Amino acid sequence: MQAASDLFLGVTFGVLSSLLFAVQNVIFKGQRTGITPTAANTIKVWVGLGFMAVLAYLPFRSTSSLIPLDTIFVLAISVLFGAAFGDLAYLHSQNRIGVSVAFPIAHSYPVLTYLFSVIALGELFYLSRLIGVVMAVLGIIMVSREKTAGKEPDEIRVGGLDRLGLALAILTSIMLAAATLLVQVGMAEIDPIDGNLVRMFFGSLAMVPIFVISRSRGMPLPTRQVTKTILIASLFGSSLGSLFFVASIKYAGATISAVVSSTAPLFALPLSLSHLREHVTPNVIVGTVVVMLGVALAIVGG
């Protein structure tokens, strides 16, 4: 069980992570037609690597001890499941079956995270916490579906089930849950900055062959203007947001961090209202309330 101070710190980092990823996603949403998922993901992880390298070697930062090889391996696998292959699988799933279907499936991962942590890490099972996690996920689904209802191409919404798209969404949920647990294991004895630098390094390496193969198959490069926008957006989510996410897992644990960090759509809502001119509906309000109650129950339920 986490100390109260660690729990507070972890939840705070999780909220900041959600806010920053929301900013990134709102900016990305306006650039969807100008860049492919592979190109966007490649830019994200390389910006994250550059940011973490600068942060890790600031002159006034104390020198960290060497990271054990087994810890490096765990963190490398975590970023492959999360920021590299997980995000890539979700982006392709979203393109095949639409956000309104892909998002709820992929972002059910906090439920899997809790169940996996009970099975694999020996975390105590609390029914109240499970109910809170499920409530939070359902609330997020309500908000996301309301925001995307009627806005996707007819061929995505009506053209029948795309089995590959569904499989990719389910795979995304599993990989995100596994990645979150692996981060908790890997971050147990090291500093979040050092740990996230390792994650971004291996995530960037993983995207190189994917990008090269995609280019050889005809993937167009994004325009200069879109690239600049993605670069700026990545400083929020894939740089600071990823660091706060890792810190949240370290101090609050995988389950609570997954629940809190999954609330990014709530932070995206006011940004969408002002930037994308979207509207609030009663279902969005109800979903928001359900999320807040679920998050609170997940935090105190253990």
Q: What is the pLDDT of residue 155?
A: 41
Low-confidence ranges of the chain (pLDDT < 70): 1-2, 29-34, 60-65, 100, 145-161, 271-280, 302
If one counts every other C-beta atom within 10 angstroms of the C-beta of residue 281, the result is 13
Give the C-alpha separation, 76 to 55, whole Å.
19
Q: What is the pLDDT of residue 64?
A: 61
Segments forming the whole domain that contains residue 194: 4-300
Number of independent structural domains in the chain: 1
Q: What is the pLDDT of residue 154?
A: 44
Give the tokens for residue 238: 């894939």
- The CA-atom distances, in angstroms, between 109 and each of 89, 106, 170, 181 are 14, 6, 9, 11
Give the C-alpha separation, 223 to 258, whole Å.
34
Give the C-alpha separation, 186 to 143, whole Å.
33
Structural contact between residues 241 and 25, judged by C-beta atoms closer than 8 angstroms: no
